Every structure is written in C-alpha cells, then in structure tokens.
C-alpha cells in the first residue's frame, strides 16, 4: 500500500512541473499587456511604460521570469497581487472557504437527488420515468450555467421572492469570520437566524453549481446499477425470496456505488470550473470570482498562482480518491 502511495505521489511531480509551465505560459499567451491594462484609457508614455516594465520585471527574458517564479513558488511565496497589492496566498485563504462551502452544498444537492434518481431509473429501466430522467439529465449536463443562474434568480428571487438574490448572508448579520464557513461560523456564534440566512443564500447557487454533477451522478448511478442488477448474485438474492428493497439496498447498491464514488471525486474539477461562473452571478466571494476579476485585470501574479493553487487542490483530491479506491478495491493496489 505504501509503495502504491509513493508511486502515486511520484507521478504528481511531473504533473506539478507541467502545471507551473502551463500557468505561466497561458497567462502570457493571453493577448493584452498588463501595464496597459493598468493604465486604462489614459494610456502611458513610452518612457513611463519602460519604467513600469522594469519595476514589474517584465523586461527580463521569459525563461528568467519563469525561473524566478518557480523559485518563489518552491519557497511558498506565491507573490503579491498587482492590483490589490495583497499576498496572493492570503487572498486565496480568505476566499477559499466560500468556494468550499458552496461546492460542498452543491455536491450534497447533486448526491441527494442524483443517486436515488439513478437507482430508481435503473430499477424501472425503460419506463417513462427512466426515459424522462435520462432526458432531463442530458439537458442538465449541457445546461449553460450563466443562463440557468440568472433564470433561477429572476424566477425564485425576483418573481416569487422566496430566496435572496445573491451574496452569502443577510447584510444585517455582521459576523467576523472564524472558520470562513458562514454556516459553521453562525453556529459557533450561536446565531440561528444568521445560519438560516446563510442557508437561504446557499440554495440557488448550490442548485446551479450542482446541476451538472447531478446529471453526471444520476447517469453514472443508473448505468452502474444496471450492470449490477444483471449479476448472478442479484438473481440469487431474488431467488432466495428477498424483498425488492433488500435486494437493491443491501446487495446491488453497495457494489454499484464503487464507480459512483470515483465519479463524485472526479467532479471536484467540474465544481471548481463551475464556481467561476456561479460565483460571478451570485456575487459569491470565492476563488472563482477572484480568478475572473484577475483575468480581466491582467493580474498575472494572481492568475498564475491561483491556477497553481487550484490545480494543487484538484491533484490532492484525485490522490485521495485513488487511495480510497485502493482501500475499497484491493485489486487496484496490485496493478
């Protein structure tokens, strides 16, 4: 097991190097010059331009800029934002809990609905429910998040007035963050109305962000269930005269869940990508919105370090999934 783990970690090193190169290169491949982006319509004189280029180190050869960047990252220095002048890592730490909280609730939403719906569709294979569920899942999977978010806001917040439009908590609540997770912080402060407000603010963005994972999970659960339901041991269980609920719950589901768990782990990337749009629509102060703002401002430092930090998280989650998978399924370890 240890060897397996070390193997997996060793594989991460080239990935990591690749990511630093990509993050560094992508930002520089974007059209537009960061110094001109800062100057806006005012423009800068050529002399001032050269001065600023030197100040920011953009006059150095690209390889030297890369070497500097890797050197800094290796010592845990992720740089300082060009626009806000705050350390990138500090901003990331402040904003990440918001993204994590939203992703967590989006995932809960996706699982609570996706898994039962997938099971039900598999059991009733070919029925109108199965057909319409798979149709809906396909629609959900291809849903443009931006449009979907605005549609929900206009209907549920604007027309019906059931949910707040955007933000993380009612403005009347003024809680200094302890953990940065509004739901946990409001419990720690013992403010139940703040908790209620935080939860109500989570409803729409969690639905929007959870829509694509929900579709994926529902489809994956259905196909895994279908496979398992055709197995001999399920037929045996049925032949023994067990109730349908017991056959499905105790025998089929447990085995079907293995690929589903993997799928859920792999949705982390989808969640972080979706967070970029969801957070922008719902004014959710997380890393997605932060990245979008920084791209528009050509804040090279935030974009390249932000990309790297997000990639590190995705890699860490994938590693955990790999390990869990190996724990669940011993055959993997040997491979």
Partner 1 sequence: MKKTMTFAAALLAASVLGGMANAKTLVYCSEASPANFDPGTTTGGNDFDASSRTVYSRLVEFKHGGTEIEPGLADKWEISDDGLVYTFHLHPGVKFQTTDYFKPTRDLNADDVVFSFDRQFNKQNPWNGEKYLPNLTWDYYTGMDMPKYVAKWEKVDDLTVKLTLTEPNAPMLANLGMDFASIVSKEYADQLEKEGKMADFSTKPIGTGPFQFVDYQLDSVIRYAANPDYFKGKEKIDDLVFAITPDATARIQKVLAGECDVAPYPNPADIATIKANKDVTLMDQAGLNIGYMSYNTTIPPLDKPEVRHALNQAIDREALIKSLFQDAGATPAQNLIPPTMWSWNKDVKFDSYDPEAAKKVLADAGLKEIQLWAADRVRPYNPNFQRAAELIQADWAKVGVKANIVNYEWTKYREEGKKKERPGAFQIGWTGDNGDPDNFFATLFACSAIGVSNYSSWCDKDFEDLIQKAKKTSDQGERTKLYEQAQEIFAKQAPAFLLAHSQVYAVVRNNVSGFKMDPLGIHRFDGVDKAE
Residues in 209-228 that interact with partner 1 by CB under 8 A: none
86 Cβ contact partners less than 8 Å away, ≥ 6 residues apart: 80
Q: Which of 45, 232, 244, 330 binds partner 1 (CB under 8 A)?
A: 45
Q: Which of 20, 163, 186, 211 binds partner 1 (CB under 8 A)?
A: 163
- Is the distance from CB of 208 to CB of 105 less than 8 angstroms? no
The answer to whether residue 50 forms part of the interface with partner 1 (CB under 8 A) is no
CB of 143 to partner 1, least distance (A): 15
Q: Which stretch binds partner 1 (CB under 8 A): 17-25, 36-44, 183-191, 237-245?
A: 36-44
- Is the distance from CB of 181 to CB of 97 less than 8 angstroms? yes
CB of 73 to partner 1, least distance (A): 17
The answer to whether residue 143 forms part of the interface with partner 1 (CB under 8 A) is no
Q: Which of 20, 103, 197, 221 binds partner 1 (CB under 8 A)?
A: 197
Q: Which of 117, 260, 264, 308 binds partner 1 (CB under 8 A)?
A: 117
The token duo for 155 is: 């209907």
Cα dihedral 54, 56, 57, 59 in deg (nearest 10): -50
Q: Furthest-apart CA pair in the chain: how many Å?
A: 87
In angstroms, how far is the first alpha carbon of the chain from the final one? 11
Which value, in Å, is the radius of gyration of the alpha carbons in the chain?
Answer: 24
Q: Which of 156, 181, 189, 325 binds partner 1 (CB under 8 A)?
A: 156
The token duo for 250 is: 């105790």
Q: Which stretch binds partner 1 (CB under 8 A): 51-59, 63-71, 245-253, 316-324?
A: 51-59
Nearer to partner 1, 19 or 27 (CB): 27
The C-alpha angle 20, 272, 326, rounded to 5 degrees, equals: 80
The answer to whether residue 65 forms part of the interface with partner 1 (CB under 8 A) is no
Q: Which stretch binds partner 1 (CB under 8 A): 39-47, 67-75, 265-273, 327-335?
A: 39-47
Q: Which of 40, 126, 241, 330 binds partner 1 (CB under 8 A)?
A: 40
The token duo for 42 is: 């005012």
Total residues binding partner 1 (CB under 8 A): 72
Q: Which of 19, 23, 88, 95 binds partner 1 (CB under 8 A)?
A: 95
CA distance 41 to 84: 20
35 Cβ contact partners less than 8 Å away, ≥ 6 residues apart: 44, 49, 52, 53, 56, 58
The answer to whether residue 78 forms part of the interface with partner 1 (CB under 8 A) is no
Nearer to partner 1, 109 or 237 (CB): 109
Q: Report 281-310 residues binding partner 1 (CB under 8 A).
A: 281-283, 285-286, 289-290, 293, 298
Quick one: DSSP state of residue 87? B
| Sign of the torsion angle spanned by Cα atoms 239, 240, 244, 246 | negative
Nearer to partner 1, 115 or 229 (CB): 115
């Amino acid at each position: 097991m240890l060897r397996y783990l070390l193997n997996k970690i060793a594989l991460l090193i080239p990935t990591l190097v690749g990511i630093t190169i990509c993050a560094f290169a992508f930002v520089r491949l974007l059209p537009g010059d960061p110094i001109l982006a800062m100057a806006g319509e005012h423009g800068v004189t050529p002399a001032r331009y050269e001065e600023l280029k030197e100040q920011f180190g953009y006059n150095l050869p690209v390889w030297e800029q890369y070497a500097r960047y890797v050197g800094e990252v290796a010592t845990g220095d992720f740089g300082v934002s060009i626009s806000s002048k705050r350390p990138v890592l500090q901003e990331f730490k402040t904003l990440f809990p918001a993204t994590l909280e939203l992703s967590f609730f989006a995932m809960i939403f996706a699982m609570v609905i996706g898994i039962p719906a997938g099971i039900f569709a598999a059991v009733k294979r070919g029925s109108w429910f199965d057909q319409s569920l798979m149709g809906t899942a396909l629609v959900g999977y291809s849903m443009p998040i931006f449009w979907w978010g605005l549609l929900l806001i206009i209907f549920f917040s604007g027309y019906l007035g059931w949910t707040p439009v955007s933000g993380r908590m009612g403005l009347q609540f003024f809680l200094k963050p302890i953990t940065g997770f509004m739901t946990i912080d409001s419990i720690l402060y013992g403010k139940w109305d703040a908790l209620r407000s935080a939860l109500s603010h989570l409803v729409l963005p969690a639905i929007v962000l959870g829509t694509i994972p929900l579709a994926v999970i529902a489809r994956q659960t259905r196909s895994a269930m279908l496979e398992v339901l055709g197995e001999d041991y399920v037929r045996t269980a049925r032949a023994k005269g067990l109730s349908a609920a017991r056959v499905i719950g105790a025998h089929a589901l447990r085995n079907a869940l293995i690929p589903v768990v993997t799928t859920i782990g792999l949705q982390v990337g989808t969640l972080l990508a979706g967070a970029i749009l969801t957070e922008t629509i719902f004014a959710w102060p997380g890393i997605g919105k932060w990245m979008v703002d920084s791209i528009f401002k050509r804040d090279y430092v935030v974009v390249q370090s932000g990309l790297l930090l997000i990639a590190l998280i995705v890699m860490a989650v994938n590693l955990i999934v790999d390990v869990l998978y190996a724990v669940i399924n011993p055959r993997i370890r040997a491979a």
